[in-house]
Amino acid sequence: MEKIIIEFAKDIVQSNILLSYIFFFISQSLQILFPPYPGDMVLILEGYLSELAGMNYILVNINAIMATFFSSVLLYRIGKKEEYKILNSKIVKYLFDTKKVDKLRKLFTKMGAFVIIISKFIPGIFSITVISAGIFKVKKRKAYLSILSITALHHIILIGLGKLLGENWTIILKKIEIYNKYLFVLVIVIIIIYFILIKVKRKLFE
């Protein structure tokens, strides 16, 4: 599948920039709605091809982020509306690892919407985590904010790497698991610093 996507993407970028944005939007949507689709690979490829074709780097990022965000919101809303009934769907069982839902329920009870952020670094569970967030009625504002923030961080880094590496973009694919671990640690450190600053601020102004 990867080789077909790569060749198809290269052909589109060389022939029509508008179709390129549409293709990349669909690709990122498919990563969420059809998890077997290699979305991370396409993100890195987007960075490389955007440099090759002179595409607007900011628009490429916005396009990818919005595709993932809207697709994730769709899953969240489906989970919230259908609740546990959605897990009985044969299509959902085929596309997503529904066995993890009970474990996710415990995590959501302890950590709330932060589980959505963590799941972005664990291959194959982001989509079912978003569905579960809807099922377990995680507050919409917090769920949406978590989806948008981690999606923006994740996509900007991967697209940036593809743009930076150029023809050597395939190198990062071999090290994607290492990248996920480092990015996960970075996010944890940022969040810890954020909460420390909040506590310090409260003590100063009490």
**What are the extents of the domains in the chain?**
2-204
Does 96 have pLDDT greater than 90?
Answer: no
Integer Cα distance of 196 and 204 in angstroms = 12
Higher pLDDT, 102 or 172: 102
Tokens 């085929």 locate to 94
Mean pLDDT lowest for which of 63-72, 154-163, 182-191?
A: 182-191
For residue 148, pLDDT over 70 is answered with yes
**What is each CA distance from 97 to 80, 87, 157, in whole angstroms?**
18, 10, 27
Longest dimension (CA), the chain: 62
Identity at 114, one-letter amino acid code? F
> Could you tell me if 19 and 11 are in contact, meaning their C-beta atoms sit under 8 angstroms apart?
no
**Predicted confidence (pLDDT) at residue 181 exceeds the cutoff of 80:** no
In contact, 165 and 173? CB cutoff 8 Å = no
Q: Which of 60-64, 167-171, 187-191 has the highest mean pLDDT?
A: 60-64
CB atoms within 10 A of CB 11: 13
Flag whether pLDDT at 42 surpasses 60.
yes
Confidence category of residue 57, pLDDT binned at 50, 70, 90: confident
